Amino acid sequence: MSFFCSKPSHSVFYISFFGIMLIMPILMVYFGWETNDTQERLLSLGFLAICILFVGGITASLLSGRIHISEEGVAHTTFRKRNFMPWEEIKIIGIGRTARPGGPELLYFSASIGIPVPVIIPELLNEKFFTIYHRKKIITAIRTYWKGPIAGIDFISDYP
């Protein structure tokens, strides 16, 4: 099973926002094309190309982060790399929050830290510790293969 790392609602919002932002350079090209000034036309096309690359890059990075859960283990794939942890190497799976107040709940997989992590800081993230936004569908998929407890759900005493 495969899940996006970002929440689907966040991805839809950002893609819609950046799609709307593309209207401005398209209008600039349209109105710039009506003039006979070659320099203004080239400037409009260059600005449109930069905007398309920027929006395309943001969209690709939002949609590329995925967690794949299978009987072999858990894989975290992004636009540039793929990290894999077999179930035998995973020491703990749990739920934590980001360090910022009111931060979202993140589900984490760790092969490096064997104790619950209630606050997830950026320094923890590496090829042996990765996160995904907590969703009930993911917990159901994990329980298919993971027989151990999930910190923050199964033993509440380890989760503040």
Instruction: Give residue-wise pLDDT tens across range 119-128.
Output: 888 888 888 8
Residue 83 host element (H or E): strand 82-86
How does residue 88 score in pLDDT terms, banded at 50, 70 and 90?
very high
Last residue of a domain, one of 64, 90, 118: 64
Residue type, 152: G
How does residue 39 score in pLDDT terms, banded at 50, 70 and 90?
confident
Domain co-membership, 6 together with 46: yes
Domain co-membership, 85 together with 98: yes
- Judge whether residue 159 has pLDDT over 50: no
Per-chain mean pLDDT for the chain = 78
Number of domains the chain contains = 2
Higher-pLDDT residue of 122, 25: 122
How does residue 86 score in pLDDT terms, banded at 50, 70 and 90?
very high
Contact 104, 97 (CB under 8 A): yes
Per-residue pLDDT at 140: 87
Q: Which residues of 54-77 are buried (b: 16+ CB within 10 A; e: fewer)?
A: ebeeeeeebeebbbbbeeebbbbb
Higher-pLDDT residue of 89, 114: 89
Per-residue pLDDT at 32: 64
Bridge partners of residue 66, in order along the sequence: 4, 77
CA distance 27 to 48: 9
Domain co-membership, 51 together with 93: no
Domain co-membership, 49 together with 117: no
- What residue has token string 């992590």? 117
pTM listed for this prediction: 0.66
Domain co-membership, 32 together with 97: no
Mean pLDDT, residues 68-86:
86
Q: 77 by DSSP, 3-state: which?
A: strand
Per-residue pLDDT at 156: 47
Contacts of 156 by beta carbon, 8 Å cutoff, 6+ apart = none
Domain co-membership, 154 together with 81: yes
Q: Which structural domain, as residue segments, surrounds residue 11?
A: 2-64
- Judge whether residue 158 has pLDDT over 50: no
